[in-house]
Amino acid sequence: MGCGMGKSELQAALLIQRWYRQYVARLEMRRRCTWNIFQSIEYAGEQDQIKLYNFFGFLMDHFTPASSERNLISHIFRENEICRDIEWERYFCYKSIEVPESYTGPHLTFPMTFCGVSKLVEAFKHKQLHARYVLQILGETWRLLRILPNINYVSVCHNQEITICGDLHGHLEDLLLIFYKNGLPSSEKPYVFNGDFVDRGKNSLEILLILFGFLLVYPNDVHLNRGNHEDHIVNLRYGFTKEVLGKYRVHGKKILKLLQKIFSWLPLATVIDHKVLIVHGGISDMTDLNLSWSLEDELKRRRRLAGFDQSYGEMNKSESDSDSDTDISIQIVDLLWSDPMPQNGCIPNEVRGGGCYWGPDITEEVLERHNLQLLIRSHECKQDGYEFCHNRRVLTIFSASNYYEVGSNRGAYIRMGPDLVPHFIQYQASRTSRELTLTQSVGWTERSALRALREQLFVHKSDLISAFQEFDPNNTGMISLRHWASATETVLNLGLPWRVLRPQLVNSTKYGMVDYQQWIRELSITEPKLEISDTSILETMYKNHSNLETIFRIIDTDHSGSISFEEFRQTWKLLSSHLKTEISDEAIADLAQSIDFNKDGSIDINEFMEAFRLVDLSAHT
């Protein structure tokens, strides 16, 4: 008797198969939509940061040297006050810093050894390194970086592999997992770390110290490329400055100053066997590696201007060399900030606000001109940790897993042998994410993305209501879904599929219409209850939360963590100039008085920013 499937069983199997495919397709659509939310909000923040910095540059260019606005921010554009190497050595001297007997962390000896760095790796799982050793590692690193070229050239020996890691962003657990799976750096196990070691995560400094330690022990086998986050201005906004000052309250200012110097000397690229180019961001139609080679000494000096500094770092340059200076600076920024696009051509990267978008034709032209076969870059989070584009001639690698949220993405690194064929190792550093099913993972990250999006909607509520009223001339309080989506995109400018997102954002509609006043009230966001006469300043505060924190930390020149009422007023005046809006002194004074909780006439920056952090009530129901 046959064991074949009957007609009814076959139909049932087909129905199950069809249902499952539709279920997986819906999950994938939700996952992509969630990803778009996270990425759009991230890039909008970067664009906002560059606009703020460009505004600072405008002040430096157009305001008189004696103007109060210019004086507030001029120190971030100046060359370091201490110029000569011998004075730097004296300024950062660690010898007067005593290590107390109560210290239980690792005791380091110099020159660094493999055993010493291995102890450091193990210690950072539980302990903090003493400031004396931090300054000692940083000082040794600075001395080494000053003699390195802008582009490192690496050869992969027979029967040897090189490991290439992308963005780590303070995720120490990812770095430790890479070392566990792949082995520690050594002369037999060379590594390239492709920038963005810091910001966003909570252990950026530990990552830097580990990488610098291995660099000191194996300078020919450990290669560090600069990323766009290796920039002291970016660090003001994205957390690294705050992390260092929180961990080292006494010596934090010196540590940050030395790190600023180190970041400016990090190499810009690595080339493997003259065939594989590794840069953090990408290339452009201006990229010329031959220029970099022929102007090695000049570029070594000018690479200090990379990142935000490049635009206004040389205020007094002569007209005769301004064109070449600008070309070199633009090339450096392109290496750090650019992203690939599927279309041919090269256009400004309006989404990030810096660098460019370059197409497959530019990839082909640059690689062919320099006899290269592959470009490896990082800079963009990818759901699987890596992604090919441009006919597999551009490869993005991203090593920080769970970057946006637990389960949002896997991390990955590359192993490459003499054949120069990349092999990928993927991972999830979080045990929680490894235990989640696909449905749970998508649901978790989706809820997190929607919380972030609701906060964006809430802080723009006045602008949204004004935009909705444009479609409601009769003041009915109702607009169509199409108009709701159009107005929301006009205000937030995030490029999101709002009509697809509508079921997650709008709880109820009537005959395809949205009660927009009720919808604003239902966003479930709570804010601090303060007795302030002018509530419009609160909305400005929420909308420009990150910009305000950046200005605070710039004005806090001694890194004390607190500012006076007068500095608080100056901060708001700077912000109002940037926003081209008027904020009265009375409103600023009212706000300052309401949050001076201990009435000592100064404001703790961290307490202030935390007090005005929005809370999504839907996450607690």
| Residues recognised as catalytic | 229
Phi, psi of 130 (to 5 degrees): -65, 145
Cβ–Cβ < 8 Å for 216, 143:
no
Q: Rounded to an integer, what distance in angstroms lies between the CA atom of residue 586 and that of residue 529?
A: 19
Token pair for residue 579?
């926003």
List strand residue ranges (DSSP E) for 565-618, in order.
Answer: 602-604, 615-616
SS3 479: strand
Q: Rounded to an integer, what distance in angstroms lies between the CA atom of residue 510 and that of residue 91?
A: 69
Strand order in the sheet with 191-193: 222-224, 191-193, 162-165, 411-416, 422-427
Query: 552-557 long-range CB contacts below 8 Å, 24 or more apart?
Result: 552/605, 552/608, 552/609, 553/236, 553/241, 553/242, 553/605, 554/72, 554/73, 554/76, 554/236, 555/72, 555/73, 556/605, 557/75
Phi, psi of 572 (to 5 degrees): -70, -35
CA 301-307-309 angle, 5° bins: 70
Nearest in space to 226 (alpha carbons), one of 188, 177, 260:
260
Cβ–Cβ < 8 Å for 427, 401:
yes
Backbone angle region of 128, left / alpha / beta, with phi > 0 → left and psi within -120 to 50 → alpha: beta
SS3 164: strand
SS3 15: helix
Q: What single-letter amino acid sits at 240?
A: F
The string over 375-412, giving b where at least 16 C-beta atoms fall within 10 Å of a residue's C-beta and e elsewhere, is: bbbbbbbbbebbeebbeebbbbbbbbbbbbbbbbbbbb
